[in-house]
């Protein structure tokens, strides 16, 4: 049996499991693993500037392509605790990433040794598995189990903690006969699928809710086939956006309190049956369960048994991988359609499409400072169907989801549940590392951008070009908007007079200077007349220099973005486009128009323009 150190075996297992890239920061307690990486040479390493950022890079890498598992490495103590936010973000969105940390020697784990912390206990609540390996011979098998767990059932992250003396110990391991463990995914039965379709067939106004599990399962083509076979409109969740193209006639819009479309919410409120596949019923999507479920029957398909009934109990639940379920749904639906057993929902689908075409929010504004809606309009006009957007939380993300268009799976890469500020930039770098060819556009507010801004240097050093759109109002915009309920605007302004550059005009941080200081290129845009030239120049700079390019748009300080407390009570702050006066009051009700500067009512629910 061949002999090698435990970390040499670990590196070979990583390669056997398909790992080609790792993100991390070396340190004393993880240096043996780095030495094995260097000696073997088969895995590319990208040096982060912050260990939290390394975990977000691994997250973006995993989300970029089917089957990817991002790996991040860090030393003992604070490196592991820095990764906790990244682990939580991945766990919340069902993303597999592997974090490997160094640790103090086994004999000193309970002696308050320098940078020794019980990272296994800290990480357990935000991982599928967290383990400190105390026997060297277990290292390759623990990693084998880690990959099996990350891929099986509901995907998620794993943390493996390696004491330094475990890393350096010699073990026997035959890498030539190593095989990854089979992946476990539950499958729906035909009987279950027939029952679900029978329930669907009893509905008059059904909808399909397409969750991120469909994208995780690489089953978007099957979703579209199922929708087209039945003629049932599709509502993607924020994590499922792109599972059906935005311009598909059966894509009925998104539903929710924030990242939603007016037509999506209104169509949902008219529905009487909801077929959820690979979704979690997240509260930003549902609002109160009482309003969301009233007058509707529900079928829920999910890969995780304990997810069914967690938020509310559906009328029927099926434990299944989304792809396995959709394969059967398509098969049975086609059989029933050929036999004339499927109900005709074409009139309902036409009504949903009519709302989608006419219940719009206004985007064309010519003001200076810029209104954010105009930025998203210009992005829609500039970028093609293949562009990949990366973003996390804030008014920038909420408005982006309301106004941008996504046409393919994995082209909206969003940290949907945890929403940590700072995620966008390193995640975009991870996406670029996974996919050298795709056009990548990150979207941040100024505060998200500042959180881990130093990672721009990683993009410059490792030649990871992408375009970073920063919509700068020099505010914690989402928190400022929420503070309206407390009649305050307290500690949410980022504005100050920058003594080094009066050109930023009281907005504070000179993002252009910082980006250029970190080895990247940057452009500032203040006028609508500059949009087309700025986007063209940014693309040219990326092509020429192969580094991230920051495109900063100077916004008006205060713009409130549509959101509400219930899906039937979304507050609109800007003029509403209702392009078809034939829409009934029932169609356009449920929105309240309020002014941007105050809470008083400022106009009717809809106005034709």
CB count within 10 Å of CB 62 equals 28
Is 579 among the catalytic positions? no
Which H/E stretch holds residue 549? strand 549-554
Which residue among 13, 14, 51, 512 is the active-site one? 51
Mapped onto helix, strand or coil, the DSSP state of residue 337 is helix
Which residue among 19, 25, 131, 375 is the active-site one? 25
Counting beta carbons within 10 angstroms of the beta carbon of residue 294, is it exposed (0 to 12), middle (13 to 18) or buried (19 or more)?
exposed
CB count within 10 Å of CB 558 equals 14
| Long-range Cβ contact pairs of 583-592 (< 8 A, separation 24 or more) | 583/354, 583/355, 583/358, 583/359, 587/266, 587/355, 587/359, 588/266, 588/359, 590/265, 590/266, 590/269, 591/262, 591/562
User: How far is CA 75 from each of CA 5, 33, 39, 126, 419, rounded to the nearest angstrom?
Assistant: 18, 10, 19, 19, 25
Mark residue 394 as left, alpha or beta (left: phi above 0; alpha: psi -120 to 50; beta: remaining).
left
Which residue among 11, 160, 232, 421 is the active-site one? 421
Mapped onto helix, strand or coil, the DSSP state of residue 180 is coil
Angle between helices 322-338 and 190-201 (to 10 degrees): 60
* Of residues 439, 341, 357, 347, the one with CA closest to residue 390: 439
Which H/E stretch holds residue 377? helix 372-382
Mark residue 389 as left, alpha or beta (left: phi above 0; alpha: psi -120 to 50; beta: remaining).
beta
Which residue among 43, 138, 360, 479 is the active-site one? 479
User: How far is CA 128 from each of CA 57, 64, 215, 322, rounded to the nearest angstrom?
Assistant: 19, 21, 20, 20
User: How far is CA 428 from each of CA 87, 420, 432, 484, rounded to the nearest angstrom?
Assistant: 17, 14, 6, 32
For 233-264, the three-class secondary structure string (H helix, E strand, C coil) is: CEEECCCCCCCCCCCCCCECCCCCCCCCCHHH
The structure tokens listed for 242 are 């792109």
Is 14 among the catalytic positions? no
Mapped onto helix, strand or coil, the DSSP state of residue 326 is helix
- Return all residues near 323 (Cβ < 8 A) that are at least 6 apart: 214, 217, 218, 219, 222
Which H/E stretch holds residue 551? strand 549-554
DSSP-assigned beta bridge partners for residue 109: none
Which residue among 142, 257, 476, 509 is the active-site one? 476
Token pair 């063209």 is found at 536
C-alpha 225: how far from chain center: 24
- How far apart are alpha carbons 188 and 302 in whole angstroms? 10
- Residue environment code for 417-442, b if the CB has 16+ CB neighbours within 10 A, otherwise e: bbbbbbbbbbbbbbbbbbbeebbbbb
Is 51 among the catalytic positions? yes
- How far apart are alpha carbons 275 and 200 in whole angstroms? 8
C-alpha 420: how far from chain center: 11
Is 25 among the catalytic positions? yes
Residues that are catalytic? 25, 51, 421, 476, 479
């Amino acid at each position: 049996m061949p002999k090698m150190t435990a970390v040499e075996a670990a590196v070979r297992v990583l390669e056997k499991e398909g790992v080609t890239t790792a993100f991390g920061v070396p340190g004393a307690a993880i240096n043996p693993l780095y030495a094995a990486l260097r000696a073997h040479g088969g895995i590319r390493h990208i040096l982060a500037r912050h260990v939290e950022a390394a975990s977000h890079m691994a997250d973006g890498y995993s989300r970029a392509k089917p089957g990817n598992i991002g790996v991040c490495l860090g030393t003992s103590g604070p490196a592991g605790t820095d990764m906790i936010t990244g682990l939580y973000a991945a766990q919340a969105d069902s993303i597999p990433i592997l974090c490997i940390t160094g640790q103090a020697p086994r004999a000193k784990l309970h002696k308050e040794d320098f940078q020794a912390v019980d990272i296994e206990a800290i990480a357990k609540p935000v991982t599928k598995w967290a383990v400190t390996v105390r026997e060297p011979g277990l290292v390759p098998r623990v990693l084998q189990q880690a990959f099996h767990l990350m891929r099986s059932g509901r995907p998620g992250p794993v943390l493996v903690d390696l004491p330094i003396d475990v890393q350096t110990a010699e073990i026997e391991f035959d890498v030539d006969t190593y095989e990854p463990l089979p992946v476990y995914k539950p499958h729906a039965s035909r009987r279950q699928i027939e029952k679900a379709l029978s329930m669907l067939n009893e509905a008059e106004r059904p909808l399909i809710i397409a969750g991120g599990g469909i994208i995780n399962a690489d089953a978007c083509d099957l979703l579209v086939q199922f929708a087209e076979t039945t003629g049932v409109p599709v509502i993607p969740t924020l994590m499922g956006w792109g599972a059906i193209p935005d311009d598909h006639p059966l894509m009925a819009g998104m539903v929710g309190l924030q990242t939603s479309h007016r037509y999506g919410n209104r169509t949902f409120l008219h529905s009487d049956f909801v077929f959820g596949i690979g979704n979690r019923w997240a509260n930003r999507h549902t609002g109160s369960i009482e309003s969301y479920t009233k007058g509707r029957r529900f079928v829920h398909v999910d890969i995780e048994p304990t997810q069914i009934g967690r938020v509310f109990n559906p009328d029927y639940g099926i434990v299944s991988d989304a792809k396995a379920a959709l394969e059967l749904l398509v098969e049975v639906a086609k059989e029933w359609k050929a036999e004339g057993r499927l109900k005709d929902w074409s009139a309902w689908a036409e009504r949903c499409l009519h709302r989608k075409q006419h219940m719009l929010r206004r985007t064309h504004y010519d003001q200076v400072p810029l209104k954010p809606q105009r930025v998203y309009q210009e992005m829609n006009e500039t970028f093609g169907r293949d562009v990949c957007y990366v973003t996390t939380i804030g008014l920038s993300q909420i408005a982006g989801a309301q106004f941008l268009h996504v046409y393919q799976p994995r082209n909206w890469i969003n940290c949907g549940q945890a929403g940590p500020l700072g995620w966008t930039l390193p995640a975009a770098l991870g996406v670029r590392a996974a996919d050298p060819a795709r056009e990548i556009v990150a979207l941040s507010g100024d505060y998200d951008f500042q959180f881990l801004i130093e990672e721009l240097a990683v993009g410059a050093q490792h030649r990871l070009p992408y375009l970073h759109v920063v919509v700068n109002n020099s505010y914690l915009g989402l928190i400022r908007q929420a503070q309206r309920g407390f009649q305050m605007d307290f500690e949410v302004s980022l504005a100050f007079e920058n003594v080094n550059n009066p050109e930023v005009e009281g907005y504070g941080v000179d993002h252009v200077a910082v980006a250029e200081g970190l080895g990247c290129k940057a452009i500032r845009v203040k006028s609508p007349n500059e949009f087309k030239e700025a986007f063209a120049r940014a693309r040219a700079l990326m092509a020429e220099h192969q580094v991230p390019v920051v495109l900063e748009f100077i916004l008006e300080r205060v713009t409130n973005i549509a959101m509400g407390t219930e899906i039937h009570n979304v507050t609109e702050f800007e003029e509403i486009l209702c392009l078809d006066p034939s829409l009934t009051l029932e169609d356009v009700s449920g929105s309240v128009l309020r002014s941007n500067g105050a809470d008083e009512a400022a106009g009717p629910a809809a106005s034709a323009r």
